[in-house]
Amino acid sequence: MIRESDISDALAARLEEVVGIPAIIWENEDAEPNPEEEYIVVELVRLPPQDATLNGDGTVQRGFMQAAVLTELGQLARRGERLAENIAEHFPKALKLAVPGGKITINRPAFIGKGYRDGTHWRVPVHIHYQAS
């Protein structure tokens, strides 16, 4: 079975390759974002694994990474949408990332959710679904 930490590392490395994105705040990172600056908040949501085999050799781990883009409030939604699109384009459906013990596959198109006000920022979430086997 692939280690969850290896999945996290591979998805994080891929996200960090996106050109022109602001600072990233990772889960459980002790960070105080500047309320006047753009940033991205990342969460990994793991779903129950699946295994259709009888011997336990076919475990497929599933989940999604949510990268929420936070931009200045009151400046139209376009900036956040463009940053979200840049992230989504970097995780196309069928992308494969090698990890110890297997691979991660992006198993559906990245989804850009509805933007909304979040304190002093405008938040635009990007959902990137994966499976690892």
Strands (E), 51-133: 60-72, 96-99, 102-106, 111-112, 116-118, 121-132
Does residue 116 surpass a pLDDT of 90?
Answer: yes
CATH class entry, domain 4-132 = alpha beta
**87-99 mean pLDDT:** 98
- pTM of this structure: 0.90
**Could you report the per-residue pLDDT of 4-60, keeping only the tens digit for each?**
999 999 999 999 999 999 999 999 888 888 778 899 999 999 999 888 787 777 789
Retrieve residue 118's tokens: 């979040």
